[in-house]
Amino acid sequence: MGRVEVTAAPIDALLARDDVLLIAHAGGSVDAPQETMYAYRRAVEAGSDVLELDVMVTSDRALVVHHDQTVDRLTDGTGAVADMTLAEVQALDAAYRFVAGGASGHPHGPVPAPELRGVRTGEVEAPTGF
């Protein structure tokens, strides 16, 4: 995956379309770890019209993109995003509980696949395009 050229249409133009919009929820959480640059890049390359994201504020007032109010369900950490510093959030492995095909972080879902676990922390070499 090389550099992705992104253009943004005004919301009025998107809403005026007669066709179906392809919206990548959390960057396409079925195909990549939620709300990561990897997920958003894949979503753009797949032709998504809209990238949905959630913005949280850390304890040191930095804006971060993370789906839940806590990091427990999706990462190797625990606690509320609002109680963590930017550095603490950045140190987490967002692919720790990722399951290709969906149900990432769901307590009754499939066991996470390890292929992306540890890429963020440098413990595992990133797959091609990551």
Longest dimension (CA), the chain: 46
Count of all residues that appear for the chain in the document: 130
How far is Cα 75 from Cα 100, in angstroms, rounded to an integer? 15
Catalytic residues: 25, 67
Question: 87: helix, coil or strand?
Answer: helix
Positive or negative, the CA dihedral 117, 75, 86, 6 is positive
